[in-house]
Amino acid sequence: MLDIVADARDRMVDVHIARRGVRDKRVLDAMRRVPREAFVEPGMEEFAYEDSPLPIGAQQTISQPYIVALMAEAAEVKPGDKVLEIGAGSGYAAAVLAEIADRVFTIERIPALGETARTRLRQAGYDNVSLHIGDGTRGWPEEAPFDAILVAAGGPDVPQALREQLAPGGRLVMPVGDESGEQSLIKVTRTGARFHEERLGGVRFVPLIGEQGWAEDGSRAATDHRPSRTRSLPEMIAEAAEPLPDFDDPGFGALFKRFADRRVVLLGEASHGTSEFYRARAAISRYLIKKHGFEILAVEADWPDAAAIDRYVRHKPARLDGEPPFQRFPTWMWRNIEVEALLDWMRTHNVGVAAEKRAGFYGLDIYNMHGSIAAVLAYLDKVDPQAASVARERYGCLTPWQRDPATYGRAVLSKGYRKCEEAVIAQCRDLLQRHLDYAGHDGDSFLDAAQNARLIASAERYYRIMYYGGAESWNLRDTHMFETLEHLLEARGPSSKAIVWAHNSHIGDARFTDMGTARGELNVGQLCRQRFGDQAALIGFGTHAGTVAAATDWDGDMEIKQVRPSHRDSVERLCHDSGVSRFLLDLGRDAALRHRLLEPLLERFIGVIYRPESELLSHYSDVSLPQQFDAYVWFDETTAVTPLGPEHARPGAPDTYPFGL
């Protein structure tokens, strides 16, 4: 067992710290010696050596190992030093510093955390660490001066008290930022009476609360140092919440007028099987399409399946050679009465709209390789039979895995199949190069075929790298979805605007969740912000409890599952405790609330799989809500979607009816 722990610790240092640029041998050796599992909450030991900021209670987290190492290296901590740390937390960082310096003094403002850290440090044998419970912004004047000061929380600026407690030649490292949440890691070096400052890069830390930092309510602490009035986060959320009317009330969609001037509005969901999320997104989409000219509804669905729906809503002829859409697991995600109602509305709305301006329904996702290949070949058969023949040869290497493409990763281990990537990319390139020839036949058909060719090239690579695991397959998938969105906007013209429906894990900016900070994953929301800036609005959704449509295993049967009440340290629990049952929270309107919510909190993610028995480990991640989203839509109790079945079939429905019931 000891060997397993030591190996995990060495891997953490080699992969998450040294590989990311930390070079100080003293720091790396210290990280190899400190038993991080002794400083995490019971039950979290198996995650101790992931580069992840694990929860430690009181809405606080143990810093991720890379940040601890980065700050220790920047502070140039060395043997013989006397070090002050602000924000003891679990005691882990103090233990790392104690492996290098002679004496470490650490301050924690939350008594329960301070006592626990003191016990852990004593049990781990760190007798050169002294811990004080109090206001860290004042420092520890009785023990000053210090050779190095490290502050594990972000303040509006460097507290004067800490500057004054630096020894000549001393180094201070701390994050500094304003109310917007943007923080930079600052290094201050004292030379006589002067202080030299340098910026080391962008970071994200919890707020530095105290006399010379932020007040409890998120405002800057008063200069006269009188205690500021403390409001709880649920109280602040209740004050900022804008109650939502019924879904059919025109006022529901009108609440989102503030985002109507954006190029892209992204609407999330906390699960793939919750009726209220679908109905809310439908109400918002109807408003944006009808009142503000949005023409693109792009969803987390396969392109070929969505294309069949698009032909229905835009009154285009149905393809007679295709199978009904959304036959693949999870069928309930799109074949449900909530989506059906929106599609019928879109079809009716489009009757009075010029063909080129009709609102379309498009899929962004990468999975349905079989359907994409069929669509490309059918198009080429009509416009260029010779090209179709070449394509069939090129796609032949994928044929055995078209309906079960996840197994393709095993096949690419052989030399012959590794050549397939070149073939599908060549086919995609050939199709795109013939744009001028093919566009004359039918612009929409060309867009459909070109996107299918791109999808096949991306999907081949996706299923190949999925075999090896890691962040690369996720990043490929989300990059493909984002690029598909770009192609749609380009195809619909420079004034086109898009609505995106996808899970919160795709919509919320990954840089401000542990997806990005710990696993190196990006997503559509992040890419949209980087591409469109303020012209992208990211809106997340959440719930406390209720029911959800989900499976226990991939390809399993749909079940109506009970959603467990939200975790006590989560975003969802704060919203539940606000007492407002359904609301819109604009995360840019209340600076004090935004600041309070910057510190990492748990957030629940339920996909098509839901396992309540392991919910904390399998369905929660750390997030900074106001940096992840621009707004948050809340429904305290929710219900499962209703999947379409034979009982919903429409007698005498036209052949163009989308789901083939």
Which positions are annotated as active-site residues?
63
Residues 6+ apart with CB under 8 A from 572: 542, 543, 544, 566, 603, 604
- What are the CA-CA distances from residue 628 to residues 9, 311, 424, 587 (Å)? 30, 34, 35, 10
> Cβ(524)–Cβ(507) under 8 Å?
yes
Q: State how far the Cα of 537 lies from the Cα of 137, in Å rounded to an integer.
A: 36
> Cβ(141)–Cβ(162) under 8 Å?
no
Residues 6+ apart with CB under 8 A from 255: 242, 244, 584
Tokens of 588: 């840019």
3-state secondary structure of 64: coil
Residues 6+ apart with CB under 8 A from 35: 5, 9, 124
> Cβ(99)–Cβ(121) under 8 Å?
no
> Cβ(95)–Cβ(34) under 8 Å?
yes
Amino acid type, 439: A
3-state secondary structure of 603: strand
Taking the CA atoms of 339, 342, 347 and 350 in sequence, report the sign of the dihedral they define: negative
Nearest to 353 by CA among 410, 293, 417, 288: 293
Q: State how far the Cα of 620 lies from the Cα of 602, in Å rounded to an integer.
A: 6
Q: State how far the Cα of 599 lies from the Cα of 593, in Å rounded to an integer.
A: 11
> Cβ(522)–Cβ(540) under 8 Å?
no
653 — alpha (psi -120 to 50), left (phi > 0) or beta?
beta
Nearest to 93 by CA among 205, 186, 187: 205
Q: Is the peptide bond before 324 cis (omega within 30 degrees of 0)?
A: no
Compute the CA torsion angle 70, 72, 75, 77 (nearest 10 deg).
-150
Tokens of 26: 């003293």
DSSP label of 354 = -
First and final C-alpha spacing in the chain = 57
3-state secondary structure of 336: strand
Tokens of 518: 């710990």
Q: Is 145 exposed, middle or buried (0-12, 13-18, 19+ CB in 10 A)?
A: middle
Kind and range of the H or E run holding 284:
helix 275-292
Q: State how far the Cα of 566 lies from the Cα of 645, in Å rounded to an integer.
A: 31
> Cβ(42)–Cβ(32) under 8 Å?
no
